[in-house]
Amino acid sequence: MINRLINLPKNQSFLLFGPRGTGKSTLVKSIYKEDERDYINLLEAETEESFARSPDLLRARVGALSDQKKFVIIDEIQKIPKLLDIVHLLIEEGIQKQFILTGSSARKLKRGGANLLAGRAIEKHVFPFTREELSENADTAMVTAIMHWGSLPKIFQITEDSEKKDFLQTYANVYLKEEIWGEQFIRKLDPFRKFLEVAAQSNGKIINFSNIARDCGVDDNTVKSYFEILEDTMVGFFLEPFSTSVRKRIYKSPKFYFFDIGVTRALARLLTVPPLPSTSYFGEVFEHLVVLEFVRREGYLRRDYRFSYLRTISAAEIDLIIERPGKPLACIEIKSTDRVTADTVKKLERFISDFPNGEFFCVTRDPIPKKFGQIHALPWFEAIKII
């Protein structure tokens, strides 16, 4: 069992969100012992049908639990949002149980009234493995594997590359059917399927809604709604442009990153194309890796960091800007090079006058920390912990 960075509440009910396959069920089962928990899995058809027909069965079931059964785990709660009302009432009535509610779709819960638990059950998120969870050492073999296959827990249980490829392709297809189409978030599957491929190929790039709409044969608003579905179902997130004005003209459209490198490559139909050092594709995947590591770590530590990017019309860019409460603005350029020189950081130097109180970092694969004027060049695995 790999130790996760997430810190779960010990005495308070909570909602645990995360995409399918990120290890939510494994995590809660490992923490809450079998003889102390009542486990309800809504992915089981018979269980889902029973509670969908009569949500009040939950009250009767919980009421009959012995004192030893301190924890009630409901897996994939978004399947029956009405159960949140029952949980809410039980908590209000002071029942001496801790509810652990896992879900892979916030979208359906929002429509089902998850706000009723505000203040009564806190919200946590779980992600694919971080590098820190996998190992204390950021060895080349591990980084190469993550950049090729991603870091969903199941990937690390598979030894053959052909089976990893099959798993990721199946994951993408099953997700389409179960999470999107099955929950009736969209009316037509074919345009959305095409959208997923185009969006994955555009991962980490500034979104041009009109171009994507044209490629998918839908209108701009439909594409925007598709991205919202991906965000609500935790398959990706927007990286908004930095909002504070600077001297330079800047792009104002967001970027979008998928939640896992392997799933992104499967959706983009690029699993047979290895990211090779010194190629532009390697640079794109490495940037994806670093951004995901920062976002996942913040998701666990919850320091109220805010992430954005900045790119000027002249193509000067800060890959990642982190607003850190009580600390200077962190301006980060991500480079896949394994040897940093003064030339490597020249583009980032252009922004120093725009952010006189900021801290500037060049995050790379170079294992040796360096400093060039005001710019700190750090190994990526150290930068994630330091910044």
Q: What is the C-alpha to C-alpha distance for residues 289 and 130, in angstroms, rounded to an integer?
A: 10
| 277 CA to centre of own chain | 25
Q: What is the C-alpha to C-alpha distance for residues 361 and 140, in angstroms, rounded to an integer?
A: 22
**Contact status, residue 319 vs residue 351, Cβ threshold 8 Å:** no
Q: What is the C-alpha to C-alpha distance for residues 157 and 149, in angstroms, rounded to an integer?
A: 12
What tokens does 288 get? Answer: 């994806």
The pLDDT value recorded for residue 114 is 52
First to last CA, the chain: 28
| Per-residue model confidence as pLDDT tens for the chain (387 residues) | 788 999 998 889 999 999 989 999 999 999 999 999 999 999 999 999 999 999 999 999 999 999 999 999 999 998 898 898 899 899 989 899 999 999 987 676 766 555 556 666 788 999 999 999 998 666 778 889 999 999 999 999 999 999 999 999 999 988 877 777 766 678 888 899 999 999 999 999 999 999 999 999 999 999 999 999 899 888 999 999 997 766 565 678 999 999 999 999 999 999 999 999 999 999 999 999 999 999 999 999 999 999 999 988 777 899 999 999 999 999 999 999 999 999 999 999 999 999 999 999 999 999 999 999 999 999 999 999 999
**Which amino acid appears at position 231 of this protein?**
E
Q: What is the C-alpha to C-alpha distance for residues 307 and 242, in angstroms, rounded to an integer?
A: 8
The pLDDT value recorded for residue 178 is 73
Query: Fold for domain 14-125?
Result: Rossmann fold (3.40.50)
Strands 317-323 and 306-311: antiparallel
Domain boundaries, the chain: 14-125
Burial of 267 from C-beta contacts in 10 A (0-12 / 13-18 / 19+): buried
- Pick from 174, 137, 179, 133: nearest CA to 153: 133
Residues in contact with 334: Cβ distance below 8 Å, sequence separation at least 6, in sequence order: 286, 287, 290, 291, 319, 320, 363, 364, 380
Q: What is the C-alpha to C-alpha distance for residues 100 and 275, in angstroms, rounded to an integer?
A: 39
**Contact status, residue 215 vs residue 194, Cβ threshold 8 Å:** yes
For residue 359, report the phi and psi dihedrals to the nearest 5 degrees. Answer: -110, 140
3-state secondary structure the chain: CCCCCCCCCCCCCEEEECCCCCCHHHHHHHHCCHHHEEEEECCCHHHHHHHHHCCCHHHHHHHCCCCCCCEEEEECHHHCCCHHHHHHHHHHCCCCCEEEEEECCHHHHHHHCHHHHCCCCEEEECCCCCHHHHCCCCCHHHHHHHHHHCCCHHHHHCCCHHHHHHHHHHHHHHHHHHHHHCCCCCCCHHHHHHHHHHHHHCCCCECCHHHHHHHHCCCHHHHHHHHHHHHHCCCEEEECECCCCCCCCECCCCEEEECCHHHHHHHCCCCCCCCCCCCHHHHHHHHHHHHHHHHHHHHHHCCCCEEEEEEECCCCEEEEEEECCCCCCEEEEECCCCCCCHHHHHHHHCCCCCCCCCEEEEEECCCCCEEECCEEEEEHHHHHHHC
The pLDDT value recorded for residue 246 is 61
The pLDDT value recorded for residue 183 is 67
Beta-carbon neighbour count of residue 23 at 10 Å? 22
On the CB side of 191, CA atoms within 13 Å amount to 17
